[in-house]
Structure 1
């Protein structure tokens, strides 16, 4: 039984599925660790939970305005700008 299961799931056609699921699990794991470690609203230790609701806006601003958000803020929301401009620019005819 084990050999038939392995032969069914360990074929080259299934590798992209494993890669996509692996990337999704990696992103979820990264976000989980990020929230547990540096999110100001998540309190894991007993001492910080006892503090109640904190009005620490500077720490929240630092958490939300991370490097990637600052990098993409003033950029056009395009994945492939050269291809988009090729097909949408009327002056390129």
Structure 2
């Protein structure tokens, strides 16, 4: 049990953080699709219904809160910084 050879080194913490964020995003998307996507049917009764013409439910799923929030915004991450360097005074 020497102190020189550690199994978990501090250099790998950012790698664990990045991997954890990626796994979290994947889990979020999986749960969102299973629970809310109108084209995904987990129960056998729902699968037997065939193709449903439920346009309102599909519109509700595709136009979620984040998409409605960014709909009328410019596609920039830092608009003030971009305008500072690109707009002439």
TM-score in terms of structure 2 length: 0.90
Q: How many residues are matched? A: 86
Task: Show the 5 A alignment for 1:4-83.
Answer: 7-8=6-7, 10-83=8-81
Per-residue CA deviation, residues 24-83 of structure 1 (Å, 9 max, x unaligned), is 100000000000001100000000000011110000000001100000000011111121
Q: Unpaired runs of 5+ in structure 1? A: 1-5
Report the structure, 1 or 2, having the larger helix content: 1
| SS of residue in 1 equivalent to 2:75 | coil
* Separation in 2, partners of 1:44, 1:7: 45
The answer for unaligned runs of 5 or more in structure 2 is none
State TM-score, norm by structure 1.
0.86
How far apart are the structure 1 equivalents of 2:66 and 2:83?
24
Q: Which runs of 4+ in 1 moved over 6 A?
A: none
